[in-house]
Amino acid sequence: MKRYPTITSEIRRGVPIYAFDKLDGSNIRAEWSRKSGFCKFGRRKALLDDSTPILKKAPPLFLDKYAAELSRIFIKQRWERVIVFFEFWGPQSFAGLHEEEDEHTVTLFDATVFKKGFMDPFQLLKVFGDRVDLPRLLYRGNANEDFVRSVREGTLPGITDEGVVCKGTWDRKRGMPLMFKVKTDSWVQRVKARWGDDPEKMKELL
């Protein structure tokens, strides 16, 4: 099952982007086929198993919230196989850590279609935007200094805690839409306070 690509922190200025609120949780993926429906679930780098028991709460939440409507969309689009990516998160989730007693939910944020690849943000909103729950679109325009500053300072209207994921048009070099992330300074400081002596963890999160 295809994994979600690593999103760079290298900001691409001067190009049109859609900036979506970055929900702070864990990346979960689900595979759908016309024959079997939603038949396989995975975390970021492996299939879901007993090594991460809290993440096994994600599939039933996803199926209850999304399965019926997504299946209708996929069939209408005449797609044969799709992998969707969603965030498993709760009010107390932080950098992939979750509290067992939290009221968790899931939010769809991307999809890749067999033989078509990932959708650019315009396509994503066109296909899913008025049908299912997505992260909030907080900004549309160029990634200029004012926009970047508002994200880092946490003053961009509607932003939660972690930051934003910016998506643009097709990036030929990577063979998928342009994507980069901008984090809030407050979230970065929380990460440094917890994992400042763990370079690998810091690299993974920042």
Over residues 116-142, mean pLDDT:
95
> Which tens digit of pLDDT belongs to each residue from 13-37?
888 999 999 999 999 999 999 999 9
| pLDDT confidence bin for 91, thresholds 50/70/90 | very high
Instruction: Say yes or no to pLDDT of 80 above 90.
Output: yes
Most distant CA pair in the chain: distance in Å? 50
Mean pLDDT is lowest, of 10-14, 69-73, 157-161, for 10-14
Alpha carbon distance 164, 123 (integer Å):
19
CATH number for the domain running over 16-205: 3.30.470.30
Among 162, 159, 156, 169, which Cα is nearest to 186's? Answer: 162
Q: Residue 29 pairs with which residues in a beta bridge?
A: 42, 85
The pTM is what? 0.94
Determine what percent of the chain is predicted with pLDDT higher than 70: 100
Mean pLDDT of all residues in the chain? 94
